[in-house]
Structure 1
Amino acid sequence: MAIKTILNVSALAGVKVTSRLIGYTAFGVFLNMVLLLLFTSWAGRGHSGLPLLLLCVTTLLAPILYFFVGKKQGVAAALHFLAERHGTDLSQFVVGKLTDSYPQLLDKAHSAGSTSAAIHEKITEQLNKMGEQSAVNKLVFSSLLQKFDFISVIGRVLESNPAAGSGSREETAEKIAKALEEKMRADDLKPDLSAPRKLVVCNIAAALFCASVLPVIFR
């Protein structure tokens, strides 16, 4: 896979992360401004200022939760995009990076004496380097590594690699790429929209509680 292509793919994945991060945070700020304007008179109708104070704290801090939910949704959308549209390209890019840096890993004769831990360490190091290009790439690739045990997949292919030779090296590289592509199933990476819905419901419920219940308790 050409480096220009992977950079374009990473940029598109980054757009999905940042757009949801900004979108969810902006929505959280807007919603809580509306809640504060609607419920200020309710929360301040008693003699105690505690309900109004808690309402202000709730509406000020709630957008932070939308920021983190947006971050999670953005990463999920980026991973789904990578797996659905560019699963083959990404798997080939990973294998290409591995073969460029550690060509001996695809040679059974050289890797036979290596322990699985040593092989896994080299693979992890190379995959982590892919995430060092930018903060967004680091976020996406680190999440990808956490979600899927790519190291075990690559290790199983290496352990089943037949006798060494140029032909077997190419065959093993293709097997690794195919195994990685099969591991990244797009259906398993669809963003879960239940968390944002629960956050909105809990946010409104908390503001309503501060405005309607607390003034009755703290009269």
Structure 2
Amino acid sequence: MTKATRKPPEEKLLLAARRLFCQAGIHATGISRILEEAGVARASLYTHYGSKENLLKAVLDIEANMWFRWFDQDLPHLKCSPQERILALFDLLGQWFEKEDFFGCIFVNAVAEHEKDSNWVRDMAGTYRDQIIEKLRALVVESGATDPDIVTQKLGLIIEGAIITAMVTQSSQAAYIARLAAGDILRCVEYALSLAKTSSLPADSDPASSAKARAATGESA
């Protein structure tokens, strides 16, 4: 009979810290609570991380790496259009929401618990969020959106709303609804592109065509 693989102390600490930081809050979670949840000795924490602050940094790294893996590995391997890869992102969200260890987004929790002038926590979470949004924007650019910044912002808000909704409702249904909303936006992008292609003049030099394209995607002049 195969024995279950035992997790190393550093991994136990990470999993316990992430769960508690999301469930109980970062400030409300003390080192003793993390050690009890992880079932490891205090020496393990200081050996592998040195402090609760460094443990939080490691938790933020793990969350960011999940998103980077989605954008850099999982989505590029799909043999489909940029629009379909964007929609596939919501499928990944749904899979994440269904996991037992989904307790919301540690970035949101970290920013919400720290004041605006707080040091590294908000900066680190903000930097990671910016990097993730930039990767999303790259997909939007590939889709041919005439105003990728606006479209990216819309999709970003849908994603963040889905994460918070899934956290509150404890249901993956939010990912499905978010996917439908994203599909509506992408269809508007496709419609704007079709208007530009059928125009006798380039979209930028044809005021009527440009106006219709902007109206379809909700973009500004």
Of structures 1 and 2, the one scoring higher in RCO (CA 8 A, sep 6+) is 1
Same structural fold, with TM-score higher than 0.5 when normalized by the shorter chain: no
Structure with the bigger percentage of helix: 1
Q: TM range, normalised to the smaller chain?
A: 0.3 to 0.5
